[in-house]
Structure 1
Amino acid sequence: MPEIHVVRAHAEREGQRETTTTQVDDGTKAWQLFADEPEVIAARVGGALKDLAYDLVDGDEVEPVAIDSRDGLDILRHSAAHVMAQAVQDLFPDAKLGIGPPVVDGFYYDFDVETPFVPEDLAKIETRMRKIIKEGQRFSRRVTTDADALAELAEEPYKIELIGLKGSGKSDDAAEGASVEVGAGELTIYDNVNRKGEVAWSDLCRGPHLPTTKRIPAFTLMRSAAAYWRGDEKNKQLQRIYGTAWPSKEELDAHLHRIEEAERRDHRKLGRDLDLYSFPDEIGSGLPVFHPKGGVIKREMEDYVRRRHIEEGFDYVGTPHISKEGLFHTSGHLPYYAEGMFPAFGLDGNEYRLKAMNCPMHNLIFRSRGRSYRELPLRLFEFGHVYRYEKSGVIHGLTRVRGFAQDDSHSYVTPEQAPGEIKHLLDFVLSLLRDFGLDDFYLELSTRDDSKPDKFVGDEDEWARATEVLAKVATDTGLELVPDPGGAAYYGPKISVQARDAIGRTWQMSTIQYDFNQPRGFELEYQAADGSRQRPVMIHSAKFGSIERFLGVLVEHYAGAFPPWLAPVQVQGIAIAERHADHLYDVARQMKARGIRVEVDDSDDRMQKKIRNAQLQKVPFMVIAGDQDVEAGAVSFRYRDGHQDNGVPIEEAIQRVVDAVASRAQV
């Protein structure tokens, strides 16, 4: 009888797995192994995901895949995408299929249709999907040949193209999700089989899928949008329908609530409502301007992080916005990063580029004179304004721009100093994020993809040493460490700090990168203790990442209600009547003398409207004055949550604000 090795995560010991061996009959399928575990919807066999209909063979190492795991959610959502595509072709028989992968929190499918979808169409599609799900159609995998697939899918031009890409070895680069549809190796088609045993619908796909459509517990369609085939604006524009699917109705409802909350917190809307920044068409896409109130927040951020860098041993430097193109060849960014840079332009017989990164210029500062080991670690820092050519389709408010300022630093160290410097930088980063109210993190380790050596420079031994150093420092923090194979920069591996905001969304914030390649390219050297010339290691680090993006994240994290130390207006003075305005202006003068940002509303509006206006502007504190306050030399002190203390002496009111600002309290 075949022996199967079942691998499971240990319930009490995180990160550990237990293996048990069991005997099964010949012809046993994976679903029979997990028949008493309804949450299991697929299996990982020998490291590869398989349908539960997979036939087990002797020696298989099998791991159950639960519907609420990362892989399980992808399988659920990809199966929902197939059901959606089936429903679309039932209702719109002329629709041609593009691709339909799972994505973060959902799925999509692209269609070539004559008329764009409207909300009423989505409602009909969703109704048809529910009928398909209720029918309990079985997802059935079959292996086919290229020739048979081409014949079967002759009416699907985009699938035909994907089969051709498979033959050319380019399927993985075809588009987001294209490899999900085709994959490497054998070609497979999935049939949706009804209860009569008839094929109701088919799609080219590598799988795996749920056992039946009934295993889709909760889903909804979200919206439709235009999307270029394979993400290339030179190709035809298709219609993309987005949806989401979850293991339970409760989880779906929670997700929809998070979406509503995210819309309420959208930094683009709040930036307009709070008069923080704007994105004028006259300047260009992805190039924001900061208004006075936004400028206050930006300045506070810059002042804070500049001071912190100096406290952490960094020297402040400055570099220009443009450079001769040759500099970026020396650094290695060209050609590796050419698509992310603005085109070259001629000047005085030379080709120049807007800089997309600061590190090449910092290398020139290091190289400007001889260096001794006694100077190391040498830490350089600047607010370097850089420009990156982002495609117009991905530009998004402040979080994806074309021009931004980096709080960029580079540490030059001996190889022996590298682990300590990386720990120093990681501690610095985490403390900085906590000061801004972000305290829920995990780390991501981005490494080289050895299957694509042309995308990386340097030998494998150097990469292995650098990766080992980063992995150890990251592990020693005690934070969760998630692998990101293939995500490294071309010149070395990196640690990314992933921070969760107030509603649980994850944002990539700071990065720390180990670079042994640029020092070689720039021939950087220092004199060692024995008099020899040695090459330093370069550690890149951006704490905010970019000030613009970090500010956008903070706006959404706080829903615009910044803590007092960051708030553009910290105190709003509200006069109950015109005769109380002078009293409040005197209070405001005293507050300004203590460094408090204060405004006085002496308009003709009624007091309740003035309070409402201050609330809409997310002002942390209000000081209100009426006859009794003027007579007593006091104010009524009102907090953002509506709590109010009456008859507070002026000096005490001022001190309350000063203390809140100094403590960085999240009032």
Structure 2
Amino acid sequence: MVNFKEDEQLNMLNHSCAHLMAQAVKHLYPQAKFWVGPVVAEGFYYDIDLGDDVIRDEDIAAIEKEMKKVAKSGKKIIRHEISKEEALEMFKDDSYKLDLISNLEDGNISCYTQGDFTDLCRGPHVDNVKLCRHFKLIRHSGAYWKGDSKNKMLQRIYGVCFPTAEELEAHLQLLEEAKERDHRKIGKDMGLFMVDDLVGRGLPMFLPKGYVIWQELENYIKNKERKLGYQHVMTPCVGTVDLYKTSGHWDHYKDNMFPAMEVEGESFVLRPMNCPHHMMIYANRIHSYKDLPIRIGEIAHDFRFEASGTLKGIERGRHFCQNDAHLFVTPEQIKDEFSKVVDLIFSTYKDFGITDYRCVLSLRDPEDKEKYHDDDEMWNKAENALREVMDSLGIEYTEEIGEAAFYGPKLDVNVKPAVGNEYTLSTCQLDFCLPAKFELTYVDRDGEKKTPVVLHRAILGSLDRFMAYILEETKGNLPTWLAPVQARIMPVKTDDPELNAYAQKIYDALDAADVRVELDDRAEKLGYRMREGQVQKVPYLLVIGMKEKEDGTVAYRLHGQKETTVLPLDEFVAKLTTEIETKAR
């Protein structure tokens, strides 16, 4: 999908269209005052104070109609410069503009005028409002002034603009595709998870069917890890502030953590990550070089105070569960263990059919050292070590400055979803810092105490985000092994005792084979039950009539297909269990 901010032509066009929208809003709401109207990756928006008026869905059409009227007028968009004093006088009745002007340096300030509307702006803009006629207002929401919850709530309207009607229509079709793939919609249709403000924003709750998927993912990755020598642990969701001061997270990550809780003279926080706990598990006993590598894994509950505007279903929440692990290794073992982590990542991606991804070596920004542990020698050593390992493994990668963790560089594997921008799914981080902070040691072959190196790694990232990714990639059409309901049995007539008895026999056979099966014998029309099964993305819909009963067969239809296949009951059970056991896609 296009990035409006990065495309120079679209950036200028959408910036101009933001002013067009503001002009139309001003015509309809004369009391309107405007904060900022920037171009973002998804298009443009404007933050507006309408006083006591509130924008509703039905008001958007009226704003669009007025925008078309203004665009049709063909007014020139004229840039002019005024002094700071003139700007303060021009906008003396607008507290939002006065705030902006007061923060500008002395000197001339640029404005743009189109007909009866003038606004502060650096520009540039297109020459004529007519060029902005191919637009669409996408959505609206609330937004705190300056993003601060202590300030007034403004109203934000989002839109997009393109040079041609054809490009706009193509983009709108992509947005419709994105809606159909949105894991929040899919999750609601399939009954997977919910969010309620009374519980708290960003705190999703998994419903029974959603938790089935969650457990399947947990079992899948734990089984792969066990075969590679991982030992799984369970650690608490809280820790003392002192724990995070020792690790350095308190200095570098405090703003992303929930506030401390004072209990019996101690300060505790909800943990944002698991490495400090795992460091303490390693420190629990003395280790020899013969013990290493030690691989500690956990499906761990973590909490981060994400801004409310960034929350998105289970893709980005304030509570999530990381598929986390920490590998304690000798320096000589770095390459081999890092290679095994990379193999595990790519093996997992192959199992799920993930092919559109890229590898990124995330490094420290040497010009912004406050964000990172202060040790130039350590950073040079860690970055060079990771770069050498990547090169020796023949992994293609790009380097990105400023994306490292505060304690060390990392490999990020960024996936490109079917819709939307890429994001990091898997990561492996090289850390010389935390083992030293926690004074971790092992006894080397020469009898001396040495400090281990730690690899922080997450294969599925968080189970929550990984589930969101898979739901959106598949549109909820999960492989049978992962589907919360794998088969649904629907007798054609629900008031026939003999037919119901046969449907129950099929249910018992599948249930005995550990298939997740439902018997839908509600007094509803078959067509209604079929449609409901389609909406809930059940892979196998079994329609059972008298012929199937008499022949001892099963007639099934795969999700998304119209053809019906008939098999003897025992063959169908064998086929389905094999498909589940082999995790066929």
TM-score (norm 2): 0.87
Instruction: Determine if the alignment matches structure 1 residue 201 to structure 2 residue 139.
Output: no
Q: 2:434 aligns with which of 518, 522, 528?
A: 518
Q: Which residue of 1 aligns with 2:100?
A: 162
- How far apart are the structure 2 equivalents of 1:127 and 1:476? 60
- Three-state SS of the structure 2 residue aligned to 1:293 is helix
Q: Within 5 Å, which residues of 2 pair with 1:365-514?
A: 365-470=281-386, 484-503=400-419, 506-514=422-430
Q: Indicate how the Cα distance of structure 1 residues 343 and 166 shifts in structure 2: closer, same or farther if over 3 A, else same.
A: same
In the aligned structure 2, how far is the partner of 1:604 from the partner of 1:67? 52
Give the SS at the match of 1:222: strand
Paired residue secondary structure (1:235): coil
Cα distance in structure 1, aligned partners of 2:348 and 2:295: 18
Query: Is the contact between residue 112 and residue 119 of structure 2 (CA under 8 Å) also seen in structure 1?
Result: yes
- The structure-2 alpha-carbon separation of the partners of 1:534 and 1:249, relative to structure 1 and needing over 3 Å to count, comes to farther
8 Å contact from structure 1 (residues 140, 192) kept in 2: yes
AA of the residue aligned to 1:158: Y
- Corresponding residue to 1:317 among 226, 233, 242: 233
Q: 1:97 aligns with which of 34, 42, 47?
A: 34
- 1:60 aligns with none
How many angstroms apart in 1 are the aligned matches of 2:98 and 2:156?
Answer: 19
* Distance (whole Å) between structure 2 residues aligned to residue 200 and residue 227 of structure 1: 23
1:524-571, CA deviations, whole angstroms, 9 ceiling, x for partnerless residues?
A: 233344444333332222222222232233333333322101111111
Contact 1:458–1:517, Cα closer than 8 Å, also in 2: no
Does the CA-based 8 Å contact 1:159-1:204 persist in structure 2?
no
Report the equivalent of 1:292: 208
The corresponding residue for 2:251 is: 335
In the aligned structure 2, how far is the partner of 1:214 from the partner of 1:634?
A: 66
Measured after TM superposition, the shift of residue 269 of structure 1 is: 3.8
- Counterpart of 1:189 in structure 2 is 110
How far has the Cα of 1:330 moved from its partner? 0.4
The code of the aligned residue for 2:518 comes to E
Residues 365-405 of structure 1: CA distance to partner in whole angstroms, max 9, x if unpaired? 22222333343332211011122233445433222323222
The CA distance in 2 between the partners of 1:483 and 1:214, in whole Å, is 42
- Between the aligned partners of 1:463 and 1:141, the Cα distance in structure 2 is 49
| Equivalent in the alignment of 1:177 | none
Deviations 1:319-359 (A, max 9, x none): 11222221011011113222322222233432222222110
Q: CA deviation at 1:102?
A: 1.4
Residue 235 (structure 1) shift: 1.4
Task: List runs of 5+ in structure 1 lacking aligned partners.
Answer: 1-65, 168-184
Q: What is the CA deviation profile of residues 157-188 of structure 1, one whole-angstrom value per residue up to 9, with x for unaligned ones?
A: 32332344456xxxxxxxxxxxxxxxxx9875
Q: Secondary structure, in 3 states, of the residue corresponding to 2:476? A: coil
Q: Give the distance between the partners of 1:451 and 1:148, measured in 2 at CA.
A: 38
CA displacement 1:198-229 (0-9 Å, x = unmatched):
x9634232x44446555547321223322111
The C-alpha deviation readout for 1:121-174, integer Å capped at 9, x for no partner, is 5445434544555626356475x765565455444432332344456xxxxxxx
Matched, 1:640 2:559: yes
Cα distance in 1 for partners of 2:486, 2:200 equals 32
Pairwise CA RMSD of aligned residues? Answer: 3.3
2:474 to 558, 565, 569: 558
CA contact (8 A) 1:67 1:76 kept: no
Q: Distance in 1 between matches of 2:252 and 2:438?
A: 17
What residue in structure 2 maps to residue 661 of structure 1? 580
State the distance in 2 between where 1:234 and 1:500 align.
Answer: 36
Name the aligned partner's letter for residue 491 of structure 1.
Y
CA contact (8 A) 1:441 1:479 kept: no
* Paired amino acid for 1:596: V
* Aligned twin of 1:39: none
Match of 1:110 in 2: 47
Alignment correspondent of 2:13 = 76
d(CA) in 2 for partners of 1:97, 1:474: 50
Contact in 2 for aligned 1:407/1:543 (Cα 8 Å): yes
In structure 2, relative to structure 1, the CA distance for the partners of 1:149 and 1:646 (3 Å cut) is: closer
Work out the CA distance in 2 between the residues paired with 1:99 and 1:291. Answer: 40
2:403 match: secondary structure: coil
Matches within 5 A, 1:557-636: 557-577=473-493, 578=496, 579-636=498-555
CA contact (8 A) 2:5 2:41 kept: no
Match of 1:13 in 2: none
Query: Equivalents in 2 of 1:450, 1:393: separation in Å?
Result: 30
Counterparts of 1:125-140 in structure 2, within 5 Å, are 125-130=63-68, 133=71, 135=74, 137-138=76-77, 140=79
Equivalent-residue separation in structure 1 for 2:8 and 2:366 (angstroms): 23
Equivalent residue of 1:337, what SS? helix
Which residue pairs with 1:229 in the alignment? 145
Q: 5+ unaligned residues in a row in structure 2: which ranges? A: none
Give the letter for the 2:175 counterpart: I
Q: What percent identity do the matched residue pairs reach?
A: 37
Q: Deviations over 1:567-613 (max 9, x none)?
A: 11111122234312222322333323332222222333343333333
For 1:137, give the aligned amino acid. Answer: K
The structural deviation recorded for 1:482 is 5.9
Residues 1:616 and 1:129: Cα distance change in structure 2 (over 3 Å): closer
Separation in 2, partners of 1:239, 1:473:
50
| Number of positions where the alignment pairs a residue of Structure 1 with one of Structure 2 | 578
Change (3 A) 1:270 1:646: closer
Rounded to whole Å, the distance in 2 between the matches of 1:188 and 1:543 is 50
C-alpha distance in structure 2 between counterparts of 1:519 and 1:133, whole Å:
62
Secondary structure of 2:172's match? helix
Aligned to 1:48: none
Counterparts in 2 of 1:155 and 1:399: CA distance versus 1, 3 Å? same
**Letter of the 2:463 counterpart:** I
- 1:520–1:155 CA distance, 2 compared to 1 (3 A): farther
Mean alpha-carbon deviation: is it higher for 456-465 or for 219-228?
Answer: 456-465
SS of 2:574's equivalent in the other structure is helix
